[in-house]
Amino acid sequence: MRLFSILILIFFSACSTVSITERKQLIILGDDVIYPQAFKAYENFKKKNKLIKEGTDYDNIQEVTENLKKAIRTFYKTHNKPDPTSNFRWEVILIDNKDMKNAWCMPGGKMAVYSGILELANNNNAIAAIMGHEIAHAVARHSSERASQGVLLDFGTMALEQLVLGRSLSGGNRRLYEYFANFGLMLPFSRSHETEADYLGLVFMYIAGYEMEESIKMWERMSKDGSNSQPPEFLSTHPSNRTRIENIKKWIPEVKSNF
């Protein structure tokens, strides 16, 4: 029963709310744990990759990111709400890699854009869509939430083994358990994060003055790009491009009305 009591204590002490979407989330591992690890990994990453430090693409990414940062700060100040980015140590780098079509934002505002994605995000509105989405992951503390969920899953497995089964899972039973944990919990959870980041990203790019409609065109280009092939949605950590486009079309009027 002691393990069960610990789980209950964790659950009630670690509940928080995602700003703007108001979704309830569970955060066990705080910024003081996650950020130092992220910052260290970011510095190591920079040392191992070729960076572009000047030119039009570099300037555009810096400009768009700065506009998004200012818009986010202004939004929370205007609405008298705590700013989730107040303890960020913002930085964005451009990686010289034409083959990689990706961008990301670590906890605490450490960002990277691969030069390959600029073939698809080929204007500042599209860059804002990409960067708004990635920043949204950090604002919503998705990495901390996923790490916390992993801790809870480990505790849950221990509880199942000790309190219910009275023995450790092994062989086929463990594989079956891991299968249902992955497809029934982890993958849908990851897709919900991506969907939330899509919505928040729209909000951020809109209040920064960028055209949300360009995000639809960008995902359409993603869909046509051969390097962006996707598995079936239920097997993926991300929603399908089609689902994303449909969601964005639905959200644009809502964002314009509410923000």
pLDDT for residue 8 is more than 70: no
The string of pLDDT tens digits covering residues 119-178 is 999 999 999 999 999 999 999 999 888 877 665 555 555 544 444 444 454 444 444 434
Residues in the chain: 259
| Mean of per-residue pLDDT scores for the chain | 82
Three-state DSSP at 51 gives strand
Least confident of 29-38, 85-94, 130-139, 170-179: 170-179
Q: What φ, ψ does residue 40 adopt, rounded to 5°?
A: -65, -45
The pLDDT score that the predictor gives to residue 144 is: 84
Spell out a b/e string for 49-75, using b for 16 or more CB atoms within 10 Å of the CB, else e: eeeeeeeebbebbeebbebbbebbeeb
Q: Which residues pair with 16 in a beta bridge?
A: 25
Residues with catalytic function = 134
The pLDDT score that the predictor gives to residue 168 is: 53
* Confidence band for 233, pLDDT divided at 50, 70 and 90: very low
The pLDDT score that the predictor gives to residue 28 is: 83
